Amino acid sequence: MSRPVRRSQAIAPFGIGALVDFPGPVSLVHAGLDAWPFDEGRPDHREFVIDDEKRLSQRLNVDYFVQPPDFRQPERGQDAAHANLNLKLPFLRFPLWHVCPRCGRMHLARYHDIAAPTCRGPVGSGGESGGEHSFRKTVQVRFVSACKKGHLQDFPWLEWLFKQPNPDWQPDGSSRWLRMRSTGSASLTGVEVRAEEKGANGGIRLVEKRTLAGAFETDPSTGSPSALAKLGIRCEGHNPVLAIGKHGATPLPGCGQELYPLLRGASNLYFPQVVSSIYIPDIDDRELSQDILDLLDDHQLKSSLLRSAQVSESGLVTAKAARLALRDFFPALAIDPEVLAEAANKHILKDVLLANSLVRRYLSQRIKSSPNGQLTKQIVDAAIKSYCPDWEIDSSVILPSLTKAMDGKSETSEVPEDARQDTLLETDYRREEYRVLCRDIQDGYPKKNLLIRSSAMQDYGALVRSSFERISLLHKLRETRAFVGYSRIFPESDLTQEERWKLIALERKKWLPAVIVRGEGIFLKFREDRLNDWLSSYGVVHAGRLLSINRNLDELRERRHQQPKLVSPKHVLIHTFAHLLINQLVYECGYGSASLRERIYAADGENPMSGVLIYTAAGDSEGTMGGLVKMGQPAYLETTIAKALEKSRWCSSDPVCIESLGQGPDNCNLGACHSCALLPETSCEEQNRLLDRGTVVGTIENPDIGYFSGVL
């Protein structure tokens, strides 16, 4: 069963495992990867493959990513052999229990049912009791249940009704059935479930009845047992995402976790886990022309050249193969095929090996065990023989590029597999992005997916020069957002990577769903000397102000199983400034507030990071029109920042806002509210938490403690 969903929405918020309400009304769950319309063996499905995001694929331990297919309906007169027509994302029906709006009788559907069950009674009360009514279409019930391991199932109606697991009485649909009634109360005490059966005289006999009073009393964050757990009802491993259930073809795997009743539309029913990455070109060669560099960064041409190398007698890209590829993909370009072939052999042949995660792991292990810790020709020969036996190439040709690509990777490969997606490693992952954003992408880099051009700092006004070390203008950027799993009950879970895979696929895949988004942005790097002076003068003051926030974060870690986090004044400063600037940019360049996003680069230590990227990225277009980049140019940026800081000095909710000791989501903000610093949650990396205008412009009592206090 399938319904329309936009490509970007198929990653979040309607990723695999999400329960989505569609017109009908009908509630469907996004099915797992096994049912996705993608076959890696079909050449026409290659257009959905993203295999040039090496950094992210290595982090997530997959070979490549797959974009959700866009729906293409055949048009009149169109060739029936046109590729990839009528591809749809798979959805399954859930919840399975349905209730008749006329008589309240409950019917059980199946995951793959397209239509809801119909009901003719018998009527349970009134003058027509025991008689049939006209055919009525049933609707899905409002209640489900889930566990912390991500499993989802229907509310256990029978077990709740009879107050015991696996009761002997079972409905058969003809002589025994369940009925849901409303007794008039707006609370759960007004929802009554009854077990009924046909009596000896043909009438209806009541077997048992019970309301839902008390079923939802327990808050999962308190740690106290749920109402279902008190009855001995535990999770059995139901997973409608993979059609695993009592009424499915796959047997229940078992679980044993505590089961929590939830409303079908509850906010804690589904938390998608998405990892994003800014694309960084892996080619840096100032000897090549810009046209050649951009060609080597083109996915289709690059794939064609790699395939030609694997079937050539020498194992290299030949001038003939380069000429044919240019004819197929870029016939208008006047490029020397021999130059292109030589550049391809120098830079992209390594991708044949490194595209395989097993090869990367093998090379990393052999490098670490080698006497000098270096990649040798013998190691590469063994890798080619084991994993690419048909590729007849002299390994010395690709040894230099492989050595450069594997430099420093041996340590990364030793990170436990389950920790590669850990948010604690996010800081280390972003360091490479930070280094690239702190320089112009000019000579030696492809510019198709990342183009950075900046004005000299002396061209900016005193406000910008005194506060920032660099302003980078990203005329082009590409972000890859990959879906890695989901959690239920709590936003973060302690599931291993293997357990995450078992929630989204029956068999582990070589790929994960992802979407590419393109846009533009402004990167602002704070001056480290100014930051150090500010922290030396007022760091203790702000650390004291943030004590309440850190205490609240500790409580969240205990109650919601979130990872530990210690918030520093520098992080809060950069984060709050990003929010204030985004709010001002909304007015200046016309973007909707939900169209701009932040990406924070903040870390201490030997290699500190102190910057923020504000960017726009649209998943259903080829980018934006340059309005955001223009606002980062001299004479524009100073005015925008000055207006943002001036507005932040006084909030319409002051003095209550600036004097707050904890407000906003989970009480994890100080001087920040909807009137001054909050953004749509899709724009913020911290879900509108960890904000304080006091770090930016100071407080009423201490106006000098803000980073920008001295320049206003």
Q: Report pLDDT digits (tens) over 72-90.
A: 777 766 665 577 788 889 9
CA distance 598 to 604: 19
Residues 498 and 380 in one domain: no
Residues 6+ apart with CB under 8 A from 96: 108, 109, 110, 111, 154, 240, 245, 247
Say yes or no to pLDDT of 414 above 50: no
The answer to whether residue 621 is domain-embedded is yes
Query: 544 and 653 in one domain?
Result: yes
pLDDT for 633-657, tens place per residue?
Answer: 999 999 999 999 999 999 999 999 9
* Nearest C-alpha neighbor of 439 from the set 342, 514, 523: 523
What pTM did the predictor assign? Answer: 0.88
Q: Among 149-158, 258-267, 360-369, 540-549, where is mean pLDDT lowest?
A: 360-369
Report yes or no on 475 lying in a domain. Answer: yes
pLDDT(583) > 50 = yes
Q: Is 132 a residue whose pLDDT tops 50? A: yes
Q: Are residues 328 and 209 in the same domain?
A: no
Q: From 394, 425, 456, give the residue that closes a domain.
A: 425
Question: Structural domain tally of the chain?
Answer: 3
Q: What percent of the chain has pLDDT over 70?
A: 93
658 and 622 within one domain: yes
Q: If you average pLDDT over every residue of the chain, what do you get? A: 88
- Rounded Cα gap, residues 60 and 54, in angstroms: 10
Q: How confident is the model at residue 240 (pLDDT cuts 50, 70, 90)?
A: very high
The two structure tokens encoding residue 490:
């709590």
What secondary structure, in 3-state letters, does 163-228 show? CCCCCCCCCCCCCEEEEEEECCCCCHHHEEEEEEEECCCCCEEEEEEEECCCCCCCCHHHCCCCHH
CA distance linking residue 392 with residue 397, whole number of Å = 12
Residues 368, 228, single domain; the answer is no
Q: Does residue 374 sit within a domain?
A: yes
Instruction: Outline where DSSP puts E strands in 242-344.
Output: 260-263, 271-278
In this prediction, residue 591 carries a pLDDT of: 81
Local confidence band at 324 (pLDDT 50, 70, 90 cut-offs) = very high
Whether 460 and 508 map to the same domain: the answer is yes
Cα separation values, 347 from 53, 353, 399, Å: 15, 13, 11
Helix (H, G, I), strand (E, B) or coil at 75: coil
Q: Are residues 411 and 506 in the same domain?
A: no
Regarding whether 259 and 311 lie in a shared domain, the answer is: no
Domain boundary among 393, 425, 457: 425
Shared-domain flag, residues 317 and 259: no
Residue 565 has pLDDT above 80, yes or no: no
- Give 584's Cβ-side CA count (13 Å radius): 21
Does the residue 327 lie in any domain? yes
Q: What is the 3-class SS of 78-118, one letter each residue?
A: CCCCCCCCCCCCCEEECCCEEECCCCCEEEECCCCCCCCCE
Q: Which is more confidently placed, 99 or 593? A: 99
- Are 456 and 420 in the same domain? no
Q: Which whole number is the average pLDDT over 105-122?
A: 93
**Last-in-domain residue among 425, 450, 481:** 425
Instruction: DSSP letter for 23, please.
Output: T
Question: What is the domain range of residue 561?
Answer: 441-711
Torsion, Cα 341 342 347 352, to 10 degrees, reads: 50
Q: Are residues 345 and 408 in the same domain?
A: yes
Please check whether residue 253 lies inside any domain of the structure. yes
Cα 404 to Cα 374: distance, rounded to the nearest angstrom: 11
pLDDT at 451 over 50: yes
- pLDDT at res. 303: 87
Q: What is the pLDDT of residues 15-28, one digit of tens each?
A: 999 999 998 899 99
Both 256 and 313 in one domain: the answer is: no
